[in-house]
Amino acid sequence: MKSDEHVIWHDAGVTRERREALNGHRAINLWFTGLSGSGKSTLAHAVEERLHAMGCRTFVFDGDNVRHGLCGDLDFSLEDRAENIRRIAEMVNLFLEAGMVALTAFISPLEKDRQRVKDIIGHSNMVEIFCDCSLEVCESRDVKGLYKKARAGLIKNYTGISSPYEVPQNPDLRLETGKTSLSDCVEEVILILLKRNAVKDVSSKKSENRIGSNS
């Protein structure tokens, strides 16, 4: 007997649409993928700061942070990495139901795992953002010394060294994080959210308020 045969989904009276209306923006996932050191977490938190200033309800799922709790029982084999990503996708789904902007910063090295995320979340509910940064630049940013340890054989299954990273072929947004400034990368992310009508342009609203106050 499957464990889920007697588990029935309960539909809440307060729907995602009602929560989005209350929040004043769409629920959406920003999935940042790229090598370690490519700037995923830095960019995700910078975008969150910008969205927070715009009045959006947000949360960042950081790859290292979830390894301390939700996925603390997993290692870095390809099988456990796949399970790590699956758990995060399911958690993101709950945050989308809550009407929030969920930002996820994970290496997520394999295309099949990223496709599974899209299958779980729904492609229309997410923006896949490829932080495109050369291995050389990523290694130069190696403040934790992890790449050096991986090259010395002290860390197994390290992406880019002893474990593969499959470059996204059709990401929604590709950012050259090794060449482009953080502020410009943030602007690119905000722009695609505006184009998708996921968030509102508060700068124009502020301008309208200033004009109205002078009339």
pLDDT-derived band at 65, boundaries 50, 70, 90: low
Q: What backbone phi and psi angles, to 5 degrees, belong to 147?
A: -65, -40
Mean pLDDT in residue range 135-149: 92
pLDDT tens readout for residues 13-61:
889 899 999 999 999 999 999 999 999 999 999 999 999 999 999 999 9
**From CA 88, how far away is CA 113, in angstroms rounded?**
11
Residue 26: which of 171, 117, 124 has the closest Cα?
124
Helices (H), the chain: 16-23, 40-53, 63-66, 78-97, 111-121, 135-140, 146-151, 182-195, 202-213
Dihedral-angle region of residue 14 (phi above 0 means left; psi in -120 to 50 means alpha; beta otherwise): beta
For the beta carbon of residue 47, count every other beta carbon within 10 angstroms.
Answer: 25
Residue that the structure tokens 């947000």 belong to = 58
Q: Is 180 exposed, middle or buried (0-12, 13-18, 19+ CB in 10 A)?
A: middle
103 contacts 30 by C-beta, under 8 angstroms: yes
Active site residue 108: yes
Strand partners, 33: 130
Amino acid identity for residue 145 in this structure: G
pLDDT tens readout for residues 68-113:
666 666 767 778 888 888 989 999 999 999 999 999 999 999 999 9
**From CA 110, how far away is CA 99, in angstroms rounded?**
28
pLDDT tens readout for residues 158-194:
999 999 999 999 999 999 999 999 999 999 999 999 9
Residue 41, classed as helix, strand or coil, is helix
Catalytic position from the list 108, 140, 181, 207: 108
53 contacts 45 by C-beta, under 8 angstroms: no
**Domains of the chain by start residue, with CATH:** 16-213 (3.40.50.300)
Average pLDDT, the chain: 87
pLDDT at 64 over 70: no
Burial code of 132-157, b = ≥16 C-beta within 10 A, e = fewer? bbebebbbeeeeeebbeebeeeebeb
Q: What backbone phi and psi angles, to 5 degrees, belong to 114?
A: -65, -35
pLDDT-derived band at 213, boundaries 50, 70, 90: very low
**From CA 163, how far away is CA 214, in angstroms rounded?**
61
